[in-house]
Amino acid sequence: MASAILKRVSASAKSTLVESMRIRASSRAFAAVAVGTDIVSVAPNVSLQKARSWDEGVSSKFSTTPLKDIFKGKKVVIFGLPGAYTGVCSQQHVPSYKNKIDEFKAKGIDSVICVSVNDPYTLNGWAEKLEAKDAIQFFGDFDGRFHKSLELDKDLSVALLGPRSQRWSAYVVDGTVKALNIEEAPSDFKVTRADVILNQI
């Protein structure tokens, strides 16, 4: 009898735990950052690392770029992705922006930026491989602090990637988010295409 009651209690507790985890997962499906958010204020003291070779990193004394230097006084389109050299990122996401760069410039965009939880040296090699470095600025978020601050981080250990970024895009004016798109899953490529955000500018 006691054993049966204990089993029922354990099953109930397990069900409650699973439901709690589901609610938490659901609440994190979309980031705290939203239209109207000042990115520089939400991620204070966070810097990104411009894509570069190792020798360039050494000669610059491993310098980083404060967010205010990237966003303040500028019109920026930024998109984040799970990682360099991965499938959708290489075959669709970056090429969609590279191929539309003239249209972004025609709309007065100062810079189109790709950011990923990668070191700047890996990003540099990837950008060169994609022949996209002349069109797009690539920045590394090597420790994920930028994406964590915006709640755009994602655990992709299931794909052997570890802590990474969600797939997202934003139109930012003087640091303030004017449009924001976040895919439901990092493997999706529906709302973060270049043509989508072009229509939001």
Compute φ and ψ for 192, nearest 5 degrees: -105, 15
H-only helix segments in the chain: 2-27, 39-42, 54-59, 67-71, 87-88, 94-98, 101-106, 120-129, 145-149, 194-198
Q: Which member of 39, 89, 170, 177 is catalytic?
A: 89
114 is known as an active-site residue = no
Query: Rounded to an integer, what distance in angstroms lies between the CA atom of residue 150 and that of residue 136?
Result: 22
Q: CB pairs under 8 A, 24+ apart, for 193-199?
A: 193/92, 193/96, 194/96, 194/97, 194/99, 194/100, 194/104, 195/96, 195/100, 196/169, 197/77, 197/79, 197/169, 197/170, 197/171, 198/100, 198/103, 198/104, 198/107
Q: How far, in whole angstroms, is CA 70 from its chain's centroid?
A: 15
Give the amino acid at 162. G
How many other C-beta atoms lie within 10 A of the C-beta of residue 59? 11
Which residues does the annotation mark as catalytic?
A: 89
